[in-house]
Amino acid sequence: MSRFTHLSTGRLNLDIILYVDRLPGVEDRVFGRDSFISIGGSATNYAIAVSKLGHNAVLAACTGVDPFSRVLVEMLASVGVDASRLCRSGGGPGTVVVLSLPDGKYAMASYTGANKALSIDYIVELVSYENPDIVHVAGLDPEFTVSLIDKLSETHKQLIISYDPGRKAVDKPDKLTQIIPKINHLLLNEREFKALNMPLSKTLLRGRLEAIAIKMGGRGATLVTSRDIIRIEAYRPGKVVDTVGAGDVFDAAFNTYFLETNDYHEAVRAGVVAAGIKVTRHGSLGAPSRLEVDLILGKLRFTLKTEKIG
């Protein structure tokens, strides 16, 4: 297996997850069945998953100088993520409180913290230093992302760029349409795709864009390439306990297997398998290992239901 290098950029957060039976109302109180404190942020989740899948993972993100930030850096190192060149900002790290319901759905409140110090110049300099095979941009504002990608395109013309806009796609769909022809992989969920108000068609593939993967949770994923449009069923190995970060795990597996095989069908199969395993586990550290994904792919490569729709 070749050791490709991924550089992911976005947020590094402290995640506090409470497992509750219902969401509280105003001046209401609920008691958790369990709690879990971990590391999070879409770019961070992606880097952890990439490392566990056997590729090199470099994180371009910002954190604080307080004890909590130091713990986050140590956690990243423990799972093989290169966080040696994180930018540092005064104060504490980004923080997210997640209320997770029994069916896997959730609500969250977030504090930006040190993430606000992330800059285009820092990211571009780190890309130049690391010379990665792929850059994955996760959850960053579309306006910021347009400027970042334009800067990267000036100096790294052959670089593969992957983008998962997250909720920003819903907030600024017009800006997202400007990004589409500038990237290679667009990875988003159904709600985010609907915000684009575009038909599901190969005509979406403009400029550099080679593949769109639309994540549909328990209904699998849809893949759009110049070859065809397919829908693949979800992999469901057990009870859903935590869906937070599952989309990031999908992205990591999709890009990892594409780099190795140059086959988008194989990439999307790996994505649904990896995400299916992740939702049965707590937190971002629940991303599956390479062996786990390979074993399931070996068993299900020809049995995961795949429907050609275009």
> How much is the pLDDT for 167?
80
The two tokens of residue 208 are 């550099």
Return the closest-CA partner of residue 146 out of 194, 181, 171, 185.
181
Angle at 280 between CA 113 and CA 43, to 5 degrees: 30
Which bin fits 11, alpha (ψ -120 to 50), beta or left (φ > 0)?
Answer: beta
Q: What confidence score (pLDDT) does residue 93 get?
A: 94
Taking residue 276's Cβ as centre, other Cβ atoms within 10 Å add up to 26
pLDDT in tens, 210-221: 999 999 999 999
Q: What pLDDT, on the 0 to 100 scale, is given for residue 23?
A: 93
pLDDT, one tens digit for every residue, the chain (310 residues): 568 999 999 999 999 989 899 999 999 999 999 888 889 999 999 999 999 999 999 999 999 999 999 999 999 999 999 999 999 998 899 999 989 888 878 898 999 999 999 999 999 999 999 999 999 999 998 899 999 999 998 888 889 999 999 887 777 778 888 899 999 999 999 999 998 888 899 999 999 999 999 999 999 999 999 999 999 999 999 898 888 899 999 999 999 999 999 999 999 999 999 999 999 998 788 899 999 999 999 887 667 889 999 8
All domains in the chain, ordered by first residue? 5-25+32-308 (3.40.1190.20)
Q: What is the pLDDT of residue 1?
A: 53
Does residue 214 contact residue 193 with C-beta atoms inside 8 Å? yes
| pLDDT at res. 2 | 61
pTM of the full predicted structure? 0.93
